[in-house]
Amino acid sequence: MKEIRGFLYSFTGYVVIGIFLIINGLFLWVFPLAATNILDYGFASLESFFINAPLIFLFLIPAISMRMFADENKSGTIEFLMTKPIREWQIVLGKYFAGIFLILVALIPTLIYYYSVYHLGLPEGNIDTGEMWGSYIGLFFLGASFMAIGIFTSSLTDNQIISFLLAVLVIGFIYFGFELIYTLSLFGPIDLFIRGLGINTHYGSMSRGVIDTRDILYFISLTGLFLFFTKISIQSRKW
């Protein structure tokens, strides 16, 4: 609750969420780019939104998560938290679910895009609603994994800027890096396996509205792995 109040009762929270909505709105409705502008695209589809959103999340989510543990480390309150009769997992999950709530706050207003495209289509309602909801599920899982990574990098330092930069680098590598390694064809028969380690492959599938249990398990595993790393990171402060 502390993290939620800290963002929703401060100017910073509204700025971060506002930037997410404004940037998406500009690309979808204002900038005259046929690849992203819905009006110029010619089809009743939110495909461009689900392509743009991960790139914006790459910077938005580290901006949300950078203070979660870095502030505690800087002020020394993390040591105070560790003396309370609560487990490390409770601390980690408390901050994580606060971050998830903020992602939902950022995503809910984007449903206006669906409403607009639904009514702008010819005929009205000419949009694949099932695909749209599947894509939203994929974007939520993507944001959840980004948040886990961001919280982990925040636990490593007492500097918010360093936390932000580390999160962008780690997320950027997992999102783009494995895909790049795959295109180089360096490892022969395991190239496809390497590609599958990257977020882009699994999100790309879900962003088309295809809900595959393998993709869901990937995001759950990635999220769990970085939350576990966070627990180890804050636990090490006891030593």
Asked whether 209 and 135 are in contact (CB, 8 A), the reply is yes
Distance CA 114, CA 130 (A): 12
Distance CA 189, CA 181 (A): 13
Distance CA 208, CA 135 (A): 6
Residues 109, 38, 58, 147: is their CA dihedral positive or negative? positive
Distance CA 179, CA 198 (A): 6
Distance CA 230, CA 23 (A): 31
Residue-level pLDDT at 24: 85
Asked whether 24 and 49 are in contact (CB, 8 A), the reply is yes
Going from the C-alpha of 134 to that of each of 128, 188, 208, the distances in angstroms are: 10, 33, 7
Asked whether 223 and 148 are in contact (CB, 8 A), the reply is yes
Query: How many residues are listed for the chain in this entry?
Result: 239
Peptide bond into 123 cis (omega under 30): yes
Going from the C-alpha of 99 to that of each of 81, 211, 221, the distances in angstroms are: 19, 24, 18
Walk along the chain (239 residues) and give the pLDDT tens digit of each residue.
566 666 666 666 677 788 888 888 888 877 766 566 776 666 667 788 888 889 999 999 998 888 888 877 776 676 666 666 678 888 888 889 988 988 898 899 988 888 888 777 677 767 777 778 888 999 999 999 999 999 999 999 889 999 999 999 999 999 998 888 888 877 777 888 888 899 988 998 887 777 889 999 999 999 999 999 999 988 876 65
**Rounded to 5°, angle at Cα 30 from 26 and 36:** 75
Residue-level pLDDT at 235: 81
Asked whether 91 and 155 are in contact (CB, 8 A), the reply is no
Distance CA 237, CA 224 (A): 21
Condensed to tens digits (0 to 9), the pLDDT of residues 38-70 reads 766 666 677 888 888 899 999 999 988 888 888
How large is the C-alpha radius of gyration of the chain? 19
For tokens 């783009």, the residue is 176
Distance CA 91, CA 110 (A): 30
